[in-house]
Amino acid sequence: MCGIICYIGKQNSVPILIEGLKRLEYRGYDSAGIASLDSESNNVLFVKSVGKVSELEKKVKSHKFKGDYGIAHTRWATHGKPTESNAHPHTDCSKKLFLIHNGIIENYEVLKRELEKKGHRFVSDTDTEVLAHLIEDNLDGNFEDAVRKSLGMVEGTFGIAVIHRDFPRKIIVARRGSPLIIGVGEGEYLAASDVNAFIRYTNRVIYLNDDEMALLNDDNIVITDLNLNRISKEPETIDWSVEGDDKKGFKHFMLKEIYEQPKTVENAIRGRLIEGEGISKLGGLEPVIEKIMNLKKLTFVSCGTSFYAGLYGKYIFERLTDLDVYVDYASEFRYRNLKLSEYDGVMAISQSGETADTLAALREAKRKGALVLGLVNVVGSTIAKETDAGVYCHAGPEIGVASTKIFVSQCVILNLIALLIGRRKGLSIFDGMNLIREIKKLPEHIKTILENGNVIRDIARKYLSFKDFLYIGRHLNYPVAMEGALKLKEISYVHAEGYPAGEMKHGPISLIDENFPTVAIATNGFTYEKIVSNIQEIKARNGKVIAIATEGNTEIEKIVDDIIFVPETIDILQPILNVIPLQLFAYYFADFKGCDIDKPRNLAKSVTVE
């Protein structure tokens, strides 16, 4: 959830570190800090601030400092409130060591008491500061050994970077459960919690695994495990561009990413469809395809928006395959008494590939003998590495905290995976070819919806005074109702509830009055008449209704207050189109309210702590 960026080289590290922090803002944070050292003078710039990186940048500029290596951090508060003393980097009693940390040190209270008995004095409420003092306590002439020994004493998760004035031109980084990636440049090295932080400087990267430590210096990188055994790793070249860092004229990244979705779908299906055979081709699953064919049950584990993608996927897999399909919140999955075997599959769905709860769920599934699969966007992420096989979204960077294009990408790819399995079993070539033809039409359908963005914007303005919303859908559109409500509450801070429409009479209808509007997903399909009945019940109680309806449906206009039309496709793909206007409605609603859309309060893009 927090952001780490490090640099060592011949350039001035300060602007590089500040720029890196700006690229990590989308991850969510409430304070920031930097420590940069100048090799010649051994002077240090050590500055922290509460709030935006821009506030830290103002402070840093006033110092007019140039340092050739350093570390910087954006913090999302866990232990202790957002204050300068709690912001990273943290230092030791000597004020020579500077450390940044993502994750949680679970035994920090025990360690802190022991260190206080030895005379260490703490100035923050954080768990992280304990590690700085612990390294100081273990330091006996060997910097690397002190870090290694200290990490062996902590329980929990960490991604750390640490520098010390007595050991110049060295940055030590290490990870356990929190991502760290090293960038290999020309005569310089970088490290970060997210490749976005340094992609402008290099696309050659080394991924650290859990319980690995790296020493970055002028000449090379030395990677070891926490027992100091050397590990050899060659840099990988990643196919990742800086395009996502540019709003391309859009007011916010979220709006840009909504409008990128035709391309997102094209990227999701490129090279993966064999229309003449009515089947998909997914190279990432080929090594385990026979094991997949032997599965009896498949469980999707995920969080947030990815959970709703999994919920949609359940309907798709039940339609196209013979699998028994379940969906579980990753945060709850591993606490159950799981009965898994080689005939069970567990698919982890995650945008970042680093979601802590999802990662813990897949590890538990693997421990119990299940086949573990992944659907992620970030190449080289921890989930991608720890699953038996998987599929990448190839959607490019998503900067807006509230996911839009990744959700659509996940939904499209879940269709491709189900098609692959279904066609190897009972699904006919005719049904497979028909699905492929309709999938290929999705980009143009999405463009049609986006061309009517002004209509959606006007409707959002009309409902700006309302404080509560109900979103309802049936069958395949139930997950979309949930996702639509989530988008509105994430970025506008307005209360919104998503419900299966059939449950409305079992409680939520008591909320309906003229001040509680409903967004009803009422596109054509076998549940259409039932959702119309729900709308009639709402109107009978003076409730206002915004309907998502199929183009050409003139009848529904007579019973709703406002309507947003979407193109018609086959029923299992219709939710992919229906979610687009809900994304736009949430965006314009939040924009009219003046909210910080790309960086909503209290939220983080990548939730890497439990």
Distance of CA 61 to CAs 19, 46, 58, 356, Å?
A: 13, 12, 5, 36
**Residues 156, 610: contact at Cβ < 8 Å?**
no
**Residues 468, 566: contact at Cβ < 8 Å?**
no
pLDDT for the residue numbered 228: 84
Task: Tell me, yes or no, whether 71 and 159 share the same domain.
Answer: yes
Residues 85-103 have a mean pLDDT of 93
In this structure, what token pair is assigned to residue 455?
A: 């209509």
Task: Tell me, yes or no, whether 75 and 28 share the same domain.
Answer: yes
CATH of the domain at 517: 3.40.50.10490
Q: Please, which pLDDT band fits residue 510 given cuts at 50, 70 and 90? A: confident
Q: Is residue 606 part of a domain?
A: no
pLDDT for the residue numbered 242: 53
Task: Tell me, yes or no, whether 227 and 270 share the same domain.
Answer: no
For the chain, how many structural domains are there in total?
A: 3
Task: Tell me, yes or no, whether 395 and 469 share the same domain.
Answer: no
End position of a domain, from candidates 396, 430, 449: 449
Q: Is residue 604 part of a domain?
A: no
pLDDT for the residue numbered 564: 97
pTM of the model: 0.82
Q: Is the peptide bond before 89 cis (omega within 30 degrees of 0)?
A: yes
Q: Is residue 537 part of a domain?
A: yes
Burial class (CB in 10 A: 0-12, 13-18, 19+), 105: buried
Q: Is residue 607 part of a domain?
A: no
Residues contacting residue 128 through CB under 8 Å, at least 6 positions apart: 79, 88, 90, 99, 100, 101, 105
Task: Tell me, yes or no, whether 166 and 268 share the same domain.
Answer: no
Q: Please, which pLDDT band fits residue 607 given cuts at 50, 70 and 90? A: low
Distance of CA 13 to CAs 89, 93, 367, 389, 396, Å?
A: 15, 25, 43, 39, 27
Task: Tell me, yes or no, whether 272 and 353 share the same domain.
Answer: yes
Residue type, 585: F
Task: Tell me, yes or no, whether 395 and 501 share the same domain.
Answer: no
For 227-261, what is each residue's pLDDT tens digit? Answer: 889 999 999 887 765 555 578 889 999 999 999 99
Task: Tell me, yes or no, whether 387 and 484 share the same domain.
Answer: no
Q: Is residue 609 part of a domain?
A: no
Give the percent of the chain with pLDDT over 70: 97
pLDDT of 483 strictly over 70: yes
Residues contacting residue 564 through CB under 8 Å, at least 6 positions apart: 452, 455, 456, 459, 546, 547, 548, 549, 581, 585
Q: Of 106-115, 234-243, 508-517, 557-566, which gets the smallest average pLDDT?
A: 234-243
In this structure, what token pair is assigned to residue 243?
A: 């395009």
pLDDT of 453 strictly over 90: yes
For 389-398, what is each residue's pLDDT tens digit? Answer: 999 998 888 8
Q: Please, which pLDDT band fits residue 604 given cuts at 50, 70 and 90? A: low
pLDDT of 301 strictly over 60: yes
Catalytic pick among 314, 405, 544, 605:
605
Task: Tell me, yes or no, whether 103 and 138 share the same domain.
Answer: yes
Residues 107-136 have a mean pLDDT of 94
CATH of the domain at 222: 3.60.20.10
Q: Is residue 601 part of a domain?
A: no
181-184/69-75 β-pairing: unpaired
Q: Please, which pLDDT band fits residue 335 given cuts at 50, 70 and 90? A: confident
Task: Tell me, yes or no, whether 444 and 570 share the same domain.
Answer: no
Task: Tell me, yes or no, whether 91 and 106 share the same domain.
Answer: yes
Domain of residue 514: give its range.
453-593
Catalytic pick among 2, 6, 393, 411:
2
Q: Is residue 583 part of a domain?
A: yes
pLDDT for the residue numbered 505: 79
Q: Is residue 154 part of a domain?
A: yes
Residue 2 a catalytic site member: yes
Question: Chain-wide mean pLDDT for the chain?
Answer: 91
Positive or negative CA dihedral for 502, 514, 576, 414?
A: negative
Task: Tell me, yes or no, whether 531 and 584 share the same domain.
Answer: yes
**Element housing 382 (H / E):** helix 382-386
For 178-233, what is each residue's pLDDT tens digit? Answer: 889 999 998 899 999 888 889 889 989 999 989 999 999 988 899 999 888 999 99
* Residue 190: closest CA among 171, 167, 208, 209: 171
End position of a domain, from candidates 213, 240, 267: 240
End position of a domain, from candidates 240, 273, 297: 240
